[in-house]
A and B are shown apart, each in its own frame.
Chain A
Amino acid sequence: DAKTTQPPSMDCAEGRAANLPCNHSTISGNEYVYWYRQIHSQGPQYIIHGLKNNETNEMASLIITEDRKSSTLILPHATLRDTAVYYCIVRVNAGGTSYGKLTFGQGTILTVHP
């Protein structure tokens, strides 16, 4: 699986949009971009994933550049409860024994301030 690079930490004011970047310059054509977050003392929570088109769900939006070498997770109106470690992961979305093998990096610690 391709390696990802994320800033170690970011701050955001409550109510503002939080834009979390991720570089994945070695991503392969069949690898998806996944985002998870881990709130303190809890298990990781799935947020969103995509291949090449921008995606949106009730939690966030995912913007993937045209060359797919980077992406941005957008939390449109951050709240204090969004304070967490955010992980960007790239992975082949296929079956077999490698499925589910998420390789977690160090992630970005997002702190939302009042």
Chain B
Amino acid sequence: SAVISQKPSRDICQRGTSLTIQCQVDSQVTMMFWYRQQPGQSLTLIATANQGSEATYESGFVIDKFPISRPNLTFSTLTVSNMSPEDSSIYLCSVVSGRLWEQYFGPGTRLTVT
């Protein structure tokens, strides 16, 4: 299995500012994903971040709002830009790993925008 850590675990930010969330994996993985979970809701995929290529965004998510970096096979960042209260969510990093191609999730970053 893959062990994933995220920083920060939580943050309270002001409207109009930006926050960069870090995701670190304990092994090299090709495919890394970012999800969002709004309060009381299920998870929604934001984008797929593969090392060596541009991130692929899902419908409703754009690079200017959620820029992603993937500098190597164990690390990625997601930036939430120009935040508004509607961005208050849990942001989760995820990877595919293991012989059964299971998908693992990090503990999440709880973001509150005031």
Contacts and interface: CB of A to CB of B under 8 A. Distances in A.
Interface string B13-34: 0000000000000000001010
Interface string B72-114: 0000000000000000000010101000111111111010000
Q: Decide if the interface of chain A is mainly helix, strand, loop or mixed.
A: loop
A70 to B, nearest CB: 20
A106 interface: yes
B44 A43 contact: no
A12 B33 CA distance: 33
A113 B48 CA distance: 38
Contacts of B43: 44, 102, 104
A99 to B, nearest CB: 6
A104 B44 contact: yes
A44 B96 contact: no
A104 B45 CA distance: 9
A106 B56 contact: no
A9 B44 CA distance: 21
Interface of A: 36, 41-46, 49, 87, 93, 97, 99-107
